[in-house]
Amino acid sequence: MPGRRYRKGDPPPSRVTGSRPLPVMVELGVIEDASPDEILRTASELSVAGFELDRRYGAVRIASLKEHVERLRAERRRAVIVRGSVGPDRLRELEAQPWVLRVWADSVVEPFVVRRAKRRRSARSAPTPDCSNGSSPTGDIADVRARLGVDKIWAAGGKGDGVVVGMVDGGICAKGRTTPPHSCGVAIDRVVDGWPAADWGTTAEHWDGHGNMTAFDVLGIAPKAHLYDIRIVNVDTGNPAKDFKAWVSDAVQAYEWAITRHQTDGTPHILSNSWGLYKRTSDVSYAEDPQSPFARQVEAALAEGILVVFAAGNCGAACPFPKCGTSSVGPGKSILGPNGHPEVMTVGAVNLSRRLVGYSSQGPAVLPPKAPKPDFCAITQFEGYFPTSNPMYASDGGTSAAAAVAAGVVALLKEKKPALTQADARLALVSTALDRPPVGTDSSSGAGLIRAKKAFDSI
């Protein structure tokens, strides 16, 4: 069952890597009751087609592609993902191996942090977006709480008690965990577990403290919530090419951990994701295939009952980040992959003055069915973890900070209504949002700025 690594729009291998091996995920059909060792033995046999297996990654169970469901069921097999590399000249040979269901790109994903951006002309139908990139924040996390009505929820006793938020991010330095020298800013409280099991909570340095920032922002809204540090940045894989980056395969594996944990004890209740892809051409399958491995993992998390929040991205038309290039900027081009899944809560960004920030990515989503996105906006560009606990940046910014703030609000809703579903949470936030120009739901701000207290009162 061969698949395709390169799709229309992808540059050919020779222009990307020359003869260098391509990082890939291989989707295999394996015997239903095969042990982890048996699966890896099967995967290692793909070396005959030039595949170099990353044995330390293991194998991740995944929902089958729709076209393979019946055959796998008839053969009493299941689908798994393994990862490794293969030379471009042997890609087709690998795809043709028995029970290789599909070969997928394994690409780097990145945090949606604030960087210096080039100003572009904004649309005339709306006020000029904020392109300051948070260099001079006009308030702090307390002002964010006041603007959203979170302080009124606190006054009523709602602070996220009993709710666990999984921070799928670059890593958190957790209080009480042993951390290497110089790998952390100020450590984060209330981090109680995580993945990888051996070293969760021990580092935040590889995304410049981004994981600490998003964790701080969630707790700034829901201070009695607990956090899981679900780190997707590799630290010690045994493969220097993989280390200190986050790969799609890492996110696939991280979601498996979260789903399995939820099946065990009902946590995490929420997954907060402030990262994604900047360019469609970096990984066309991730950007626009609803059956890509990570898209299926997101759907599995939603089906399990986990509430999922994603940042929209930082490629809005007014002042996109330079790494967005030109092909992934603006309406209908800039919310890529599962960040725009129709069921997830996709979060755009406004500043404390309720003004749209110009880098906030615009819908509709690139991923079919091209849902109207973002769903709503939350606040970014305020003093929070940055620069108070870490002077590296002037503010907590990007749609990263906005998504974390929104995840904190969802935690407050979940505390009030433990049976809260994804649809419940999204409806509560969308239906009570404060509209911003232009009138009505739009591709830049969705339903508008969330109003936490009104959403809280509506459930």
**Tens digit of each residue's pLDDT (9 = 90 or more) over 314-353:** 999 999 999 998 899 999 999 999 999 999 999 999 999 9
**Tens digit of each residue's pLDDT (9 = 90 or more) over 229-259:** 999 998 766 666 666 799 999 999 999 999 9
CA distance 278 to 334: 8
14-18, 24-28, 299-303, 396-400: the lowest-pLDDT one: 14-18
CA distance 206 to 316: 25
Quick check: 113 pLDDT over 70?
Answer: yes
Omega of the bond prior to 180 within 30 degrees of 0, cis?
no
CA distance 361 to 444: 7
CA distance 16 to 4: 16
Quick check: 85 pLDDT over 70?
Answer: yes
Query: What amino acid is encoded at 46 in this protein?
Result: L
Q: Which domains does the chain have, with CATH numbers?
A: 13-106 (3.30.70), 111-458 (3.40.50.200)
Give the confidence band of 117 by pLDDT, cuts at 50, 70, 90. Answer: very low
Residue 250's nearest CA partner among 360, 417, 110, 140 is 110
**Mean pLDDT over each residue of the chain, to the nearest integer:** 92
**Tens digit of each residue's pLDDT (9 = 90 or more) over 31-81:** 999 999 999 999 999 999 999 999 999 999 999 999 999 999 999 999 999
**Tens digit of each residue's pLDDT (9 = 90 or more) over 411-442:** 999 999 999 999 999 999 999 999 988 888 99
> pTM, whole model, 2 decimals?
0.92
